[in-house]
């Protein structure tokens, strides 16, 4: 068995800017757990030399985007060959860089594809420059480089691939290259491919006009492409579903929603996880090393976390929290203190995540929070997502306007580094998506490894994880809610949470412990990768 894991983004660490958010970090964590467990897998993605952007916030509260040049040479080595694809009838050459991701028991090569080569036409050199930049034309070219270029690179480098794992539909053109190599047998292609879909938001499923697809892909399109990929447009998800032997969503609820969205396909689910060694901060690492030796190899041992003494849990959390608070005060001169209950909200700034829901009644919120609660927000908006940018503006305006009565900051440039700091330091991780759009979510899982507590709508992973008021807080019940209903429930929970934190410290620690002991043994990528192994890879 050997798996080639194709993903448009793979986020391994903060030094390699080839990720934008959840999808890329999940891919990186998948690779890292496979390396720890010595599972034969290789990763394939694109090398974005101008990455995803660095975010700054100007004095008006507007997001500004900076695209510094990324020099990959410190992190990977160029391989001494090129593969060549025909794109719009031209030859486009693709270089391959190799990064070795080391784990506890093994290591996993990750191959980065790069069209920025001197003998390519200037416009072709730009194909792999920007992650999720450009228009439909750029996007289909990127997907062609990933799918078909990646497939050719695999033929050269890794001859014994038994399964191609398409992480999202972006890599689906590899099925067309396979189809050519396998005498047009859809059955044989299906035997080789598995597919994971990652979003219930329709716009998240890439579609291309057949006119564009024909001009870019040319001979790669089989005659019956409209049967395989949709009558009106080439839908990458439909094509992937048709040419994979198995498909899955990334949480139980997302599996259900995906079956409704794509009736007639057999779609299962494997709930996402996070790589425990990447997301547990130094404070809790030390604590777990002392009390639960062996947890690094086997995170299921964290189920015993309830035996750690209360005061050690408390002290460890306080130390991680101090690290976060001192960063906040350094950047914003906000006068935050580790004595106050700290609530963080950080995720992609996009409408359905409803970052501003908690500010629906500022008067109420500031009374509740006065001298008791402080809020830290962060998140990037996609450069073309105007609604997302407005959310950031709104939050920064609220912070400024209500400075006297509401402790609130917005930290710029949410990335792996800042996500680590925030998920390690916070008491509470807030999540208020419009159900059921959050396919899984993973940031809340990171919090559990650091003694933090989730308060979230019952969407994605949290719907499976939450035991209300025992290991965290549920906003609302197991059903879709209007914004007004969600706010009412959120405020009810907030009151309960604030009073628990200040009036029942013993109960608070017990919720922290349950958050660790109930949730980390399940919501990690070791469990997730093993599930992929047994259900889909072997």
Residues that bind ligand PLP (CB under 6 A): 21-22, 25, 347, 414-416, 419, 441-444
Tell me how far, at minimum, the Cβ of 261 lies from ligand PLP, in Å. 19
- DSSP string across 421-463: HHHHH-SEEEE---TT--S---HHHHHHTTT-EEEEES-HHHH
Tell me how far, at minimum, the Cβ of 438 lies from ligand PLP, in Å. 7
According to DSSP, residue 323 is labeled: H
Closest CA to 426 of 279, 497, 285, 321: 321
Give the span between the Cα atoms of 450 and 335, in whole angstroms: 24
Tell me how far, at minimum, the Cβ of 163 lies from ligand PLP, in Å. 25
Tell me how far, at minimum, the Cβ of 50 lies from ligand PLP, in Å. 18
Residue 167 φ/ψ, nearest 5 degrees = -85, 95
- DSSP string across 211-223: HHHHHHHGGGS-T
Q: Are 430 and 436 spatial neighbours (Cβ–Cβ below 8 Å)? A: no
Q: Which is nearer to ligand PLP, 251 or 443 (CB)?
A: 443
Tell me how far, at minimum, the Cβ of 464 lies from ligand PLP, in Å. 14
Cβ burial, residue 335 (10 Å; 0-12/13-18/19+): exposed
Q: Which is nearer to ligand PLP, 249 or 444 (CB)?
A: 444
According to DSSP, residue 53 is labeled: P
Q: Are 424 and 323 spatial neighbours (Cβ–Cβ below 8 Å)? A: yes
Contacts for 156 with CB less than 8 Å, ≥ 6 apart: 81, 83
Give the span between the Cα atoms of 194 and 191, in whole angstroms: 8
Give the span between the Cα atoms of 310 and 333, in whole angstroms: 32
Give the span between the Cα atoms of 128 and 97, in whole angstroms: 13
Q: Which is nearer to ligand PLP, 147 or 460 (CB)?
A: 460
Q: Which is nearer to ligand PLP, 147 or 388 (CB)?
A: 388
Tell me how far, at minimum, the Cβ of 347 lies from ligand PLP, in Å. 3
Q: Which is nearer to ligand PLP, 114 or 438 (CB)?
A: 438
Q: Which is nearer to ligand PLP, 199 or 244 (CB)?
A: 199
Tell me how far, at minimum, the Cβ of 460 lies from ligand PLP, in Å. 8
Q: Which is nearer to ligand PLP, 95 or 412 (CB)?
A: 412
Tell me how far, at minimum, the Cβ of 185 lies from ligand PLP, in Å. 37
Q: Which is nearer to ligand PLP, 11 or 72 (CB)?
A: 11
């Amino acid at each position: 068995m050997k798996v080639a894991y194709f993903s448009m983004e793979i986020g391994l660490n903060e030094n390699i800017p080839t990720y934008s958010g959840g999808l890329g970090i999940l891919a990186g964590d998948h690779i890292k757990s496979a390396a720890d467990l010595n599972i034969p897998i290789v990763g394939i993605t694109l090398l974005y030399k101008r990455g995803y952007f660095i975010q700054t916030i100007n004095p008006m509260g507007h997001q500004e985007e900076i695209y510094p040049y990324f020099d990959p040479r410190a992190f990977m080595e160029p391989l001494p060959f090129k593969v060549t694809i025909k794109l719009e009838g031209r030859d486009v050459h693709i270089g391959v860089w190799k990064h070795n991701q080391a784990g506890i028991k093994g290591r996993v090569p990750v191959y980065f594809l790069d069209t920025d080569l001197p003998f390519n036409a200037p416009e072709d050199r730009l194909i792999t420059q920007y992650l999720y930049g450009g228009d439909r034309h750029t996007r289909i070219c990127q997907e062609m480089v990933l799918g078909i270029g990646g497939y050719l690179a695999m033929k050269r480098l890794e001859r014994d691939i038994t399964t191609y794992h398409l992480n999202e539909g972006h890599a689906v053109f590899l099925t067309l290259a396979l189809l050519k190599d396998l005498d047009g047998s859809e059955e044989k292609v299906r035997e080789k491919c598995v597919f994971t879909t990652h979003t219930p938001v329709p716009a998240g499923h890439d579609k291309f006009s057949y006119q564009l697809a024909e001009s870019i892909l040319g001979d790669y399109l089989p005659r019956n492409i409209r049967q395989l990929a949709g009558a009106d447009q080439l839908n990458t998800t439909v094509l992937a579903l048709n040419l994979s032997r198995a498909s899955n969503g990334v949480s139980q609820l997302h599996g259900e929603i995906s079956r409704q969205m794509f009736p007639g396909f057999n779609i299962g689910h494997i709930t996402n996880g996070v790589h425990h060694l990447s997301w547990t901060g130094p404070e809790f690492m030390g604590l777990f090393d002392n009390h639960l030796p062996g947890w690094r190899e086997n995170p299921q041992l964290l189920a015993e976390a309830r035996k750690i003494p209360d005061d050690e849990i408390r002290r460890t959390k306080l130390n991680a929290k101090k690290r976060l608070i001192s960063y906040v005060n350094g950047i914003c001169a906000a006068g935050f203190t580790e004595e106050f209950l700290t609530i963080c909200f950080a995720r992609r700034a996009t409408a359905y995540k409803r970052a501003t829901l908690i500010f629906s009644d500022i008067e109420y919120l500031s009374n509740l929070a006065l001298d008791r609660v402080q809020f830290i927000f962060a998140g990037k908006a996609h450069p073309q997502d105007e609604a997302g940018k407005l959310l950031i503006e709104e939050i920064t305006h609220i912070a400024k306007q209500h400075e006297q009565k509401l402790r609130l900051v917005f930290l710029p440039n949410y990335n792996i580094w800042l996500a680590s700091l925030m998920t390690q330091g916070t008491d509470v991780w807030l999540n208020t998506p419009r159900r059921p759009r959050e396919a899984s979510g993973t940031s809340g899982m990171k919090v559990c490894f650091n003694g933090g507590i989730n308060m979230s709508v019952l969407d994605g992973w949290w719907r499976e994880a939450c035991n209300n008021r025992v290991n965290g807080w549920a906003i609302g019940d197991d059903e879709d809610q209007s914004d007004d209903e969600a706010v009412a429930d959120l405020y009810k929970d907030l009151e309960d949470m604030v009073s628990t934190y200040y009036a029942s410290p013993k109960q608070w620690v017990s919720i922290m412990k349950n958050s660790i002991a109930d949730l980390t043994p399940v919501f990690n990528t070791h469990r997730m990768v093993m599930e992929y192994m047994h259900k889909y890879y072997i």
